[in-house]
């Protein structure tokens, strides 16, 4: 597969159209919850798009559908112009990877953190000898500002949240993916390391042309990393556009509400510390 | 995770139970090998009390009680092990793989678990004992295994359902692993401790169940187990009153109690370590 040339459609990497997810539970008396409703957007090569919204608004639902972890009820998702379901699963994950909200849950406590990195090689074609593997892992870690000897061979609980999130970003680099779904990657790590992770995303975007769907409930972070933003409420995208436009001249009342909540959020963090 | 095993080695309960269990295992394996034929009847030595030649006396058939006891320990442990290993395997398979794959596989495994849960063990045994001639240890182990796993499968299932929501399972999936791979390498290792506990409990209850069934005469009547000894000690009538031969039924009774207590203490020790809430540090 020659992926670099076929971005087509004005360099659009990922495109979601009319994406809807209804969760049903119960066998006889079924209950339906709307996870996402008619969500449409696109992400270009080398672009960071933020998906903002309060808790339960359906952000992770959208992320999970893009990651092929759950099936959409209706709507389509295309990667480089092809339906994501037309890709072989390994081929797909070579191009699309993720970083999740809770780094502590992303590492299996049973193994050292090396496990996650080594597993990533499973996506590559052909075999690779162990020395080569170690070298690739080390240089990848170094390239994202981690000292390999400080993190490798350790158990997850011996690392900080920021180190873990960086390793996970490193993992998707190692795979060489072109699209990263970052589902609230900074919400569980403290403010000082948070900037490091955000800057890492920005530099990867610039240097490697990485596309990112940056999911957050924090308008400030959305403003910092992305050029475009989507605002979700109760499963629907209520507003989308360039960051400055949406946040400086919000049209939808919900966006205004979100913006109004920002200062109070920061105040609360300050007093907590 | 690794620390847990270290804690286990430092747990007094666990180590004490293990020491008792190991001594019983030694008695049950080395004993029969050193002592003679447990079925040998010396008709000139019937119902003799303990003496230097016959440490625990003789039965009313003239058999040596100590020799029988060592064989009984070994055989009871064999039944327990067969039932414990097999029951654990079934519980893990039904409890983990079905729910992980989901959909139809999950429904079938749930149904099987619930059916097995209501299967009546004792009537089943009585029927099988009356139909099958010469029930042997392996067969009894198999039947006990087949009836003992459902509760374990249920709790393993609920744990798998929680563990599969962890993000590392999603990451494994995004590393191209298939469901079976994920269960084996990501989910089950985190349940090793619990699975070991299931094994210990299933083994203990199988030993107890076999003894109880032997005592009411529906288990093997040819191979010596602890329950077999108790059965014959009660039913033998050549001596006016069976309780006159106390050295025949007291030793297997004590050994059975000690064995089950050791297993219980091992379980309690593991429980303390594996359930952090009970852990006193
Ligand atoms: N597996 C599921 N089964 C049923 N309902 C679900 C499931 N997952 C999510 N939901 C529901 O779908 C809605 C959207 O959830 P989602 O996790 O996408 O929200 P979110 O925006 O990511 O929230 P947060 O910021 O808290 O992570 C919620 O109402 C949630 O209760
Ligand atoms: Mg979420």
| Residue A261 pLDDT greater than 90, yes or no | no
**Does the pLDDT value for residue A63 go beyond 60?**
yes
| Helix-then-strand count for chain A, H and E | 11, 10
Is the residue at B161 inside a domain? yes
**The predicted structure's pLDDT at residue A232:** 92
User: Is pLDDT of A267 > 60?
Assistant: no
Confidence grade of residue A8 (pLDDT, cut at 50, 70, 90): very low
Q: Which residue has the higher pLDDT, A227 or B220?
A: A227
- Are B168 and A105 within 8 A, CB to CB? yes
Is residue A273 over pLDDT 70?
A: no
Do residues A29 and A199 make contact, with C-beta atoms less than 8 angstroms apart?
A: no
Domain residue spans of chain A: 4-24+33-272
**Separation between Cα atoms, residue B266 and residue B262, nearest integer Å:** 6
Query: What's the domain count of chain B?
Result: 1
**Domain contains B8:** yes
Contact residues, chain A, for B2 at CB < 8 Å: 155
* pLDDT for the residue B243: 59
Q: Which residue is closest in CA terms to ligand 1's atom 17? A: A60
Domain that holds residue B236: 2-45+76-274
Report how far ligand 1's centroid is from the alpha carbon of B264 (Å): 43
pLDDT digits (tens, 9 = 90+) for A127-141: 788 888 888 899 889
| Residue among A69, A101, A116 whose CB faces B173 most closely | A69
* Separation between Cα atoms, residue B202 and residue B79, nearest integer Å: 11
Cβ-based contacts of B166 with chain A (< 8 Å): 105, 108
Q: Give, for all 281 residues of chain B, the pLDDT tens digit.
A: 456 677 778 888 889 999 999 988 988 888 888 787 777 777 777 767 777 777 777 777 777 888 888 888 888 999 999 999 999 999 999 998 788 777 788 888 888 888 888 877 667 777 777 777 667 888 888 888 888 888 899 999 988 888 888 899 999 999 988 888 888 888 888 888 788 889 999 999 998 988 888 887 776 667 888 888 887 777 765 655 655 677 777 888 888 889 889 988 998 888 887 765 555 54
Class of domain A4-24+33-272: alpha beta
Interface contact B1-A110, CB threshold 8 A? yes
Mean local confidence (pLDDT), A102-129: 86
Residues with beta carbon < 5 A to ion ligand 2? A 60
pLDDT at A28: 73
Exposed / middle / buried, residue B183 (Cβ in 10 Å: 0-12, 13-18, 19+):
buried
**Which of A:185-204 have CB within 8 Å of B?**
none
Q: Indicate whether B37 belongs to any domain.
A: yes
* Alpha carbon distance A60, A36 (integer Å): 9
Mean pLDDT, all residues of chain B: 82
Rounded-to-integer distance, Cα A177 and Cα A96, Å: 5
B170 touches chain A (CB under 8 A): yes
Question: CATH number for the domain including B32?
Answer: 1.10.3720.10
| Three-class DSSP category at B20 | helix
pLDDT tens, position by position, B121-169? 667 777 777 777 667 888 888 888 888 888 899 999 988 888 888 899 9
Residue B280 domain-assigned (yes or no): no
Q: Which two tokens stand for residue A145?
A: 């500002």
In a domain, B50, yes or no: no
B104 at interface of A, judged by CB pairs closer than 8 A: no
Predicted local confidence at residue B281, as pLDDT? 44
Kindly state whether residue B177 falls inside one of the protein's structural domains.
yes
Residue B3 alpha carbon to ligand 2 centre in Å? 32
Query: Which pLDDT tens digit goes with each residue over A189-213?
Result: 777 778 888 988 999 899 889 999 9
Note the pLDDT tens digit of each residue in A73-110: 999 999 999 999 999 999 999 999 999 888 888 998 88
Q: Which chain A residues touch B189 with a CB distance below 8 Å?
A: 108, 110-111
What strands lie across the sheet with A74-79, from one edge to the other?
Answer: A31-44, A12-25, A74-79, A82-83
B55 in a structural domain: no
């Amino acid at each position: 597969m020659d992926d670099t040339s076929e971005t087509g459609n004005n360099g659009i990497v990922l495109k979601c159209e009319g994406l809807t997810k209804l969760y049903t539970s119960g066998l006889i008396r079924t209950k339906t919850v709307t996870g996402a409703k008619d969500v449409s957007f696109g992400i270009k090569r080398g672009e960071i798009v933020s998906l903002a919204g309060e808790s339960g608004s359906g952000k992770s639902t959208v992320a999970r559908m893009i990651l092929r972890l759950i099936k959409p009820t209706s709507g389509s998702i295309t990667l480089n112009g092809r339906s994501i379901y037309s890709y072989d699963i390994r081929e797909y994950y070579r191009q699309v990877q993720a970083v999740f909200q809770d780094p502590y849950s992303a590492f299996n406590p049973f193994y050292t953190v090396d496990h996650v990195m080594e597993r990533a090689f499973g996506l590559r074609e052909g075999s690779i000898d162990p020395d080569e593997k170690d070298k690739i892992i080390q240089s990848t870690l170094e390239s994202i500002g981690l000292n390999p000897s400080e993190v490798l061979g350790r158990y997850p609980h011996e690392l900080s949240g920021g180190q873990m999130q960086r390793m996970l970003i490193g993992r998707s680099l190692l795979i060489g993916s072109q699209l990263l779904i970052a589902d609230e990657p900074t919400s569980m790590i403290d403010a000082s390391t948070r900037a490091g992770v955000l800057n890492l995303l920005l530099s990867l975007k610039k240097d490697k042309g990485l596309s990112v769907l940056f999911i957050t409930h924090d308008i400030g972070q959305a403003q910092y990393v992305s050029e475009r933003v989507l605002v979700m409420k109760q499963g629907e995208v209520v507003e989308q556009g360039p960051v400055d436009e949406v946040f400086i001249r919000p049209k939808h009342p919900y966006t205004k509400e979100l913006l109004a909540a920002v200062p109070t959020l920061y105040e609360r963090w300050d007093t907590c510390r | 995770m690794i620390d847990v095993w270290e804690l286990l080695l430092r747990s007094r309960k666990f180590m004490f139970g293990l020491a008792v269990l190991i001594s019983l295992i030694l008695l049950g394996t080395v004993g029969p090998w050193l002592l003679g034929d447990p079925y040998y009847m010396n008709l000139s030595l019937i119902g003799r009390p303990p003496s230097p030649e016959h440490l625990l006396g003789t039965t009313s058939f003239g058999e040596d009680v100590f020799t029988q006891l060592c064989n009984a320990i070994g055989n009871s442990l064999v039944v327990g092990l067969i039932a414990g290993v097999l029951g654990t395997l079934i519980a893990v398979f039904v409890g983990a793989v079905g729910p992980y794959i989901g959909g139809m596989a999950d429904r079938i495994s749930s149904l099987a678990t619930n059916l097995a849960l209501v299967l009546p063990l004792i009537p089943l045994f009585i029927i099988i004992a009356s139909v099958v001639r010469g029930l042997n240890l392996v067969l009894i182990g198999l039947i006990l295994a087949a009836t003992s796993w459902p509760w374990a499968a249920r709790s393993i299932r609920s744990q798998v359902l929680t563990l599969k929501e962890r993000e590392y399972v999603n990451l494994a999936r995004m590393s191209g692993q298939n469901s079976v791979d994920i269960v084996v390498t990501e989910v089950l290792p985190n349940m090793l401790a619990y699975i070991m506990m299931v094994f210990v409990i299933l083994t203990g209850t199988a030993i107890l169940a076999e003894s109880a069934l032997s005592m009411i005469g529906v288990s093997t009547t040819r191979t010596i187990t602890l329950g077999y000894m108790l059965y014959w000690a009660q039913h033998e009538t050549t001596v006016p009153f069976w309780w006159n031969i106390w050295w025949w039924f007291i030793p297997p009774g004590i050994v059975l109690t000690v064995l089950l207590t050791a297993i219980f203490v091992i379980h309690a020790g593991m429980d303390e370590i594996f359930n952090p809430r009970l852990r006193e540090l």
